Amino acid sequence: MMTSRKSVINIGLLGLGTVGTGVMQILAKNRADIAAKTGSELKITKALVRDPSKTRPHLDPAVELTTDASSVLTDPAIDIIVEVMGGIEPARQYIATALEHGKHVVTANKDLMALCGYELFSAAQEHNKNIYYEASVGGGIPLIRPIKHCLAANRIRSIMGIINGTTNYILTQMTAAKKDFQDALAEAQAKGFAEADPKNDLEGRDAAYKLAILASLAFQSVVNVDDIATESIVEMSVRDIMYADELGFVIKLLAIGEETQEGLKLRVHPTLVPKDHPLASVHNEFNALFLVGDAVGELMFFGRGAGSLPTASAVVADVIEAVHNIHHGIENHAIEMTFAAKPVVPMSRSRSKFYVRLKAKDQPGVFGSVATVFGDAQVSLDMILQTRRDVNLAEIVLVTHEVVEHNFYQALERIKQLDSIRNISNVIRVLERG
């Protein structure tokens, strides 16, 4: 169906903070280009905020600031609602209301899309409108659209990403400048790369939300965030980073999704990444996604995963797509509604390679007893480093071959009980060399 082209498309913003301001800036700066690309003038007419008296840089005086959500959501003149306020409620309710009132919706909200995506796609389908969410994962890096459209011909085997800038900044600083974890975190906060409460980032929860969205699209499944095993980076030490370096690895927080015959394997954890892997050279606040498709082979996306303008770049691209769809009368085409949940393999049944750092009495036979316990549990060893720390204690670092996680952790429990073992200082998964 071909509909008449609207010369003006009105946009209502929900939120005018970091991302909302970037959206306003891009629409002002690139107004003529965007009008040429879409055939319409794109105008923000209203913006919902908490505090209209706040000083706001780059504020377009033509935009009406309001604290009354329904005056934006039900305004018949508004065509597209851009939700950049964050959080679950009231954002979820506002998007539902916008759809009910015939608006297309663009959102940057990963938490909401990861937790309530299915519900919102259903509402969009019911009202024959679309939800666009490119900015919800990877900020300015195009990920959603490439997976959904450009790679649609492929069966995607795996996705593996550095999709949290805060943790990547911290781990990069610990590696490059040998800063300890607390100092690197304080620096990330001072530079605006970490929030005042960084818990969700450090514990891998933020990356798990993003992985849920990406894995859902890559494997055409409905992914529950709670099925994603997550591990924090707070136990990482410069000592581990230095041993990893000696063994030929760097430590990164990876979000990993694979589709296997047994089901989906989904996890977020600190990982020893071989130095020659493309993800090893993704530093500081940068993000990247490494993907393997059966036709395209290996592919990597790299760029700024957050920030006002990079994130707004993705939001405005979604707005432009929405405008094209409005012009061409394309209403709902949510392929996400065709997805059905696939089984997720529990971590205990997954196979991984492990780095283990432990302290033991510096006496003959210690290493032999550790190797025997691992051997009994069918855990074979790939690499070993042994360093003497003082007269009584030795530090042993070893890397296993790929093993069933359950067997590995059972052996580790037995090793902890050995008389000669003082403690297990850290255990980190290792990415197999390609």
Active site residue ranges: 210
How would you classify the pairing of strands 80-83 and 8-14? parallel
Q: What are the C-alpha distances in Å from 270 to residues 203, 204, 231, 280, 354?
A: 10, 9, 7, 12, 11
Q: What are the C-alpha distances in Å from 277 to residues 91, 106, 162, 224, 350?
A: 39, 34, 13, 29, 22
Cβ closer to ligand NAP: 33 or 51? 51
Report the alpha-carbon angle 370-373-379, nearest 5.
Answer: 100
Task: Please report, as a single letter, which amino acid is at residue 75.
Answer: D
Cβ closer to ligand NAP: 157 or 304? 304
Write down the least CB distance from residue 59 to ligand NAP, Å.
11
Write down the least CB distance from residue 242 to ligand NAP, Å.
32
Write down the least CB distance from residue 140 to ligand NAP, Å.
9
Write down the least CB distance from residue 54 to ligand NAP, Å.
5
Cβ closer to ligand NAP: 40 or 311? 311
Cβ closer to ligand NAP: 114 or 412? 114
Cβ closer to ligand NAP: 293 or 307? 307
Q: How many CB atoms lie within 10 A of CB 399?
A: 21
Residue 39: phi and psi, rounded to 5, are 80, 10
Report the alpha-carbon angle 144-150-151, nearest 5.
Answer: 90
Write down the least CB distance from residue 48 to ligand NAP, Å.
5
Task: Please report, as a single letter, which amino acid is at residue 69.
Answer: A
Q: Note the residues at the interface with ligand NAP (CB under 6 A).
A: 15-20, 48-51, 54, 84-86, 90, 108-110, 135, 139, 306-307, 311
Closest residue to ligand NAP using C-beta atoms: 17
Q: How many CB atoms lie within 10 A of CB 60?
A: 14
